[in-house]
Amino acid sequence: MKLGISVPDQKGGTRIINTFEDALEIIKKADKLSLGVAKIIYLVGWQYNGHDDKYPAFFEVNKAMKRKGDKTAEESLMWLMRE
């Protein structure tokens, strides 16, 4: 399952589709709907300014995705991965 996080906007910034908190809730709902059957959910647009912004696209987490209370966007992404 592909889960959109963000895309670049027309001004060089980011349009957020789902926050990391939203992503966790969507993943939990998908797990309930599939009755816990193993699945792969991949995040699209967590890097740079969003989906298809730069390539290769795994060196930088989109700064707009930083959660309140986290020091960096990387910390926010790691939170989602732990959850």
Q: Is the pLDDT of residue 75 over 90?
A: yes
In total, how many domains does the chain have? Answer: 1
| DSSP label of 11 | T
Does the pLDDT at position 28 exceed 90?
yes
Mean pLDDT of the chain: 91
Residue 1: exposed, middle, or buried by beta-carbon count in 10 A (0-12, 13-18, 19+)? exposed
Domain span holding position 28: 2-82
* pTM, 2 dp: 0.81
State how far the Cα of 32 lies from the Cα of 40, in Å rounded to an integer: 14
- pLDDT value, residue 58: 74
Tokens of 53: 């912004």
Confidence (pLDDT) at 69: 95
Residue 36 has a pLDDT of: 82
Angle at which helices 73-82 and 20-33 pack, to 10 degrees?
20
- How large is the average pLDDT for residues 9-15? 91
pLDDT value at 13 more than 80: yes
